[in-house]
Amino acid sequence: MSVHRNPVCQAGGVSAVGAFNMIDFAGLDEIDALLELIDNCIDWRHSGLELNIRFIVTNKDELLIIDNAMGMTLSNFQKMFILYNQDLEGPQRRSGICGYGTKAALKLLCSNKTIHNIITKHNNDNYYTQTTDWNTLTTMNNSFNIYNASEEEIELFKKYNNNGSGTIIKLGLTEELRHILDQQFENKIEKNFKLNKYFSIVYNEHNDVNIYYKYKNYDTKQIEFISMFNQPNEQYLNGIDGNKRIIIKSKYNKKTLQELVYFELNNKYYYIYKKKGNCPTKPIGPESNLPHMCIDDDLEEMEFVQHLCCLKPDNSYYNSEKPSLPFDTGLTVRDNYRQNFFGTKTYNSEVNGKMLISRNDSIIGNIDIGKTAVAGGKGTAKDKFQRIHVSTQLDYNTKSNQKNITDTYMHTQKNKHQYDRKEDRKAIWRMCEYNREEFSTTLWNNMEKDSLDYSKKEACQTITRAYILYKFNKTINSRINKKKTLVSVSKLSSSTSYSNSTTSPIVSKLSSSTSYSNSNTPPIVRQSSASNTSNASNTSNTSNTPPIVRQSSASNTSNTSNTSNTSNSSNSSNTSNTSNTSNTSNTPPIVTQPSSIDKLMGSDKHDKIQIKLLKKLAQSDSIDEEERYALTWGLSRLLETLKDII
């Protein structure tokens, strides 16, 4: 039987002084503080209008942070200074969640030069201002006086906002703040500096936001956003196939901690089912159905989007026009787009095996998924390709609610831009790692196939050219050895002509005025490399075999006259005053025309198969065993012959 008891007293509460002091333990640095202030501008921007955020340093070394967003009503201005306030009336999908970031940011930025001044104007309200010396505060309670703006403050506001709405925050400029702003607006990524600390990366998904910086009388600078996943298709390896997005869903039971992470592809499921402490390393799939989970009030469902891309590499890494499988095992970025920001020869650990985390379109972290790559190592080019050259990002959206399940599931911190990986989310990290591996493997295999096809094509062209030389040489040698009717002259007269040729001539170099007739096979014409001169006149040939026409390799001049040939089986000539004879060596012609190959084919069966095979191989990468045997035979014979020919 229970006994009713009255409490002696009630305990509990929040120490106002303690809560104020603990702001210093938030772990923010100056960059985080600036990001928090930019977040506020973006959260409260006008829908459909470009947001301009400006950092301006005056000649008095004052830093002005100016935006043309909605500004604040008096009621909203009051809420701004309530620690841990949850404002559910503002725009949804805001970055703000805890009612903490702005207070912590202002306190940190005023830790040296201690005074801030804020001027704000909402379209439906007046100009208001608030000034605080943080050095005088010990608590947040009723410590921030709000005033109607003075004429001087209104004039300052109108100078930058043209009678529109918005907010100006005035701070004292420190050396640290100046260094940070100079660094941010160089539009360069420093070595091993966290990517979620750069304005250019954090806000790259906000297409309607511009961020500027002007130091005193120097030129205005603008942030150039680094947007790896929103480039035109031609900027990616394999075009559109080099940029992919996968919708990942998660079912999570808050009570049993069971977790089902999955995605759907071609009406099939791939899933990781984490029941208790153990988590599978890779998904199961493809499966027609998902495993059963009890549906109750504790089951929450969430959706994420994973982006994967491989920006088009420069030609020194992989040339898509002349593909050759990459062998580079270094750790530097090799695409032209990222090289503009990271540099060409600088290693940055922030692109090694990492995944960006985006919350409500702003980057809040860059975490490890899988192992990081180590420089060097034979045969590790594929691994480097996956971890260095393939980029990935996980997006999720939330509502501005301190009890939002997705923020709870993802362990979003009150300092949003310091997001870190939590090991109890292994299922979703491993799913993202699997997707990156599959994506990079597909691209690698495509490069391998394209490289192999290109190599085969190049090899076929080289072999074909060499084989043609071999076949012509074989034809010439055969005819010379059999002592068929062949005529060698030093130079044909321009009046020499042949007609009724049944095949097209194969010519190395021939005067355009020369033509041939009465020949059943094409003439083979050659010019030696020496600068000789020879003259021929009144020369005719009625032989059924082609003449071999060449210039003498000697330096002397040969004169030939009154020469004729009327025999069908032999060659004769009456040459006078000739100081050198023609060269009838067995060397192959210099230039040939592949279209005449078939007409010079011998009767050898293997020779015919060889030519057909080379033609087929130039168009396809599949050959059967009979053709492979013929290719092997032909190449071995060709290589042996070419030693004396080429």
Q: How does pLDDT run across 107-121, given as a tens digit for each residue?
A: 999 988 889 999 999
Higher pLDDT, 80 or 414: 80
Question: In angstroms, rounded to a whole number, what is the distance separating the alpha carbons of residues 560 and 577?
Answer: 8
Mean pLDDT (whole number) for 523-535: 37
Mean pLDDT (whole number) for 469-473: 61
Residue 338 has pLDDT above 90, yes or no: yes
**pLDDT for the residue 165:** 96
Question: Burial, 342: exposed, middle or buried (Cβ in 10 Å; 0-12, 13-18, 19+)?
Answer: buried
Higher pLDDT, 67 or 626: 67
CB contact at 8 A, 197 and 417: yes
Mean pLDDT (whole number) for 482-502: 40
**pLDDT for the residue 509:** 31
Higher pLDDT, 91 or 367: 367
Block residue for tokens 């050898």: 604
Mean pLDDT (whole number) for 568-583: 39
List all residues 6 or more positions away from 310 whose beta carbon is below 8 Å from its beta carbon. 236, 237, 238, 242, 243, 335, 389, 390, 391, 439, 440, 443
Nearest of 128, 158, 141, 137 to residue 82 by alpha carbon: 141
Pairing relationship of beta strands 299-309 and 243-253 according to DSSP bridges: antiparallel
Poorest-pLDDT segment among 114-118, 212-216, 401-405, 484-488:
484-488
**pLDDT for the residue 456:** 77
Residue 374 has pLDDT above 80, yes or no: yes
Side chain identity, residue 392: T
Residue 259 has pLDDT above 60, yes or no: yes
**Structure tokens belonging to residue 568:** 């069908």
**pLDDT for the residue 376:** 86
**pLDDT tens-digit readout, 180-221:** 999 999 989 988 789 999 999 999 999 999 999 999 999 999
* Alpha-carbon torsion (457, 461, 464, 470), positive or negative: negative
Q: What share of the chain in percent tops pLDDT 70?
A: 69
Residue 417 has pLDDT above 50, yes or no: yes
Mean pLDDT (whole number) for 233-243: 95
Block residue for tokens 């980057």: 363
Mean pLDDT (whole number) for 230-249: 96
Nearest of 376, 474, 11, 439 to residue 245 by alpha carbon: 439
166-190 burial string, b = 16+ CB within 10 Å, else e? bbbbbbbbbeebeebbeebbebbbe
**pLDDT for the residue 568:** 39
Cα–Cα distances (Å) from 375 to 380, 387, 440, 454, in that order, read 9, 11, 19, 29
Mean pLDDT of the chain: 78
Higher pLDDT, 457 or 382: 382
Q: Which of 15-19, 421-425, 450-454, 478-482 has the highest mean pLDDT?
A: 15-19
Domain over 16-184 is classified CATH 3.30.470.20: no
**pLDDT for the residue 588:** 39
**pLDDT tens-digit readout, 376-397:** 888 899 999 999 999 999 999 9
**pLDDT for the residue 289:** 95
pTM exceeds cut of 0.85: no
**pLDDT tens-digit readout, 124-133:** 999 999 999 9
Question: In angstroms, rounded to a whole number, what is the distance separating the alpha carbons of residues 618 and 614?
Answer: 6
List all residues 6 or more positions away from 139 whose beta carbon is below 8 Å from its beta carbon. 16, 17, 19, 20
DSSP state of 146: E
**Element holding 426 (H helix, E strand):** helix 426-481
Side chain identity, residue 283: P
Count other C-beta atoms under 10 Å from residue 476's C-beta. Answer: 21
Q: Domain extents for the chain?
A: 16-184, 233-451, 453-470+597-645, 487-573
